[in-house]
Structure 1
């Protein structure tokens, strides 16, 4: 081996030895912390109490029925809006209907009492037939009157709103015999968002 190779090998060995010795003499403090995180989605849980708002027999033109029910937020999230979707089915007892029975059943009002202001009623629906209501989706928890006395729009988690509704079999002062014995099954679907 030549002198040049011996010197190169010697320097390399010395450099390696110095780096090992100096690297072994470094000491430092350290501390490690871990963070465990979770994401849990809240819940929307809307209920209607009672589930059957109206069930009447023997209606005649001019009769009206008043009912109270409650929209309850049993979830963990506030509800911004509750859309009311309407559908119905008519059973024509005699098969002689020339008109839609839903055009003769009117919702005189649907009021959210908790959003009212003094003597000003917070009507969600005012004087609309079931037939017309099929093409609407009113917000049942909207505040439609100005003021700050009672609740604002929406339905907070763990609360409920008191609802008043009046249905009327409208007497159009014409012959309505075609509706004798007929039945109308109303489906109100409350969609929380």
Structure 2
């Protein structure tokens, strides 16, 4: 092989080698930054004070009891609406009840302690037990809270009047009976929003 041919082959080999080396690596500028992100969920904390509203004995038809209590939002999120689940059990002392004692206990939700004659909503325990959560919010809590709901860190007073209705008829079947009432309040968050 001639010298020119060897030199030509050597240059081609060197060019091929440089191409392979250069094609496999390249240089560039870069910069990076790391962010630290936190997602913290708020809290809904609805409280009722006092937790025992009524403990009354020796009721007779025509008697009424007024109690006030506070609904407190101890959480960090606003409560848009409140619902109430009513449950009760009747103990029939003589076993002679032909009617539900809850039909004879009328419940009046009042605006506040100063205006005891202004009724927000009136119903009986048996009707309240069967109301939907939406109806309860609309008839009982919305008139009191309005559009603002129950903001975080706030409280609202509610007044309730219970009446043992005297229907003018024989109500002897309820003598000695007792009714255990359980109210469960539930607060619902406001609609989510862009933060």
Structure-1-length-normalised TM-score: 0.80
Q: 1:91 is matched with which residue?
A: 91
Deviation at 1:87, TM superposition (A): 1.1
**SS of structure 1 residue aligned to 2:10:** helix
Pairwise CA RMSD: 3.0
Q: 2:179 is matched with which residue?
A: 184
Q: 2:193 is matched with which residue?
A: none
Deviation at 1:113, TM superposition (A): 3.9
Correspondence 1:133 to 2:128 = yes
Query: CA separation in 2, counterparts of 1:106 and 1:163?
Result: 16
Q: 2:9 is matched with which residue?
A: 5
Against the structure 1 CA distance between its residues 14 and 57, is the aligned structure 2 distance closer, same or farther, given a 3 Å change threshold? closer
Deviation at 1:16, TM superposition (A): 6.6
Query: CA separation in 1, counterparts of 2:160 and 2:44?
Result: 24
What is the aligned length?
Answer: 177
**SS of structure 2 residue aligned to 1:128:** strand
CA contact (8 A) 1:105 1:167 kept: yes
Against the structure 1 CA distance between its residues 141 and 33, is the aligned structure 2 distance closer, same or farther, given a 3 Å change threshold? farther
Structure 1 spans left out of the alignment, 5+ residues: 145-149
CA contact (8 A) 2:88 2:180 kept: yes
Against the structure 1 CA distance between its residues 42 and 120, is the aligned structure 2 distance closer, same or farther, given a 3 Å change threshold? farther
**SS of structure 1 residue aligned to 2:79:** coil
Deviation at 1:135, TM superposition (A): 1.3
Deviation at 1:53, TM superposition (A): 1.1
Deviation at 1:104, TM superposition (A): 0.4
Against the structure 1 CA distance between its residues 33 and 111, is the aligned structure 2 distance closer, same or farther, given a 3 Å change threshold? farther
Deviation at 1:33, TM superposition (A): 2.1
Against the structure 1 CA distance between its residues 122 and 156, is the aligned structure 2 distance closer, same or farther, given a 3 Å change threshold? farther
More helix by share: 2
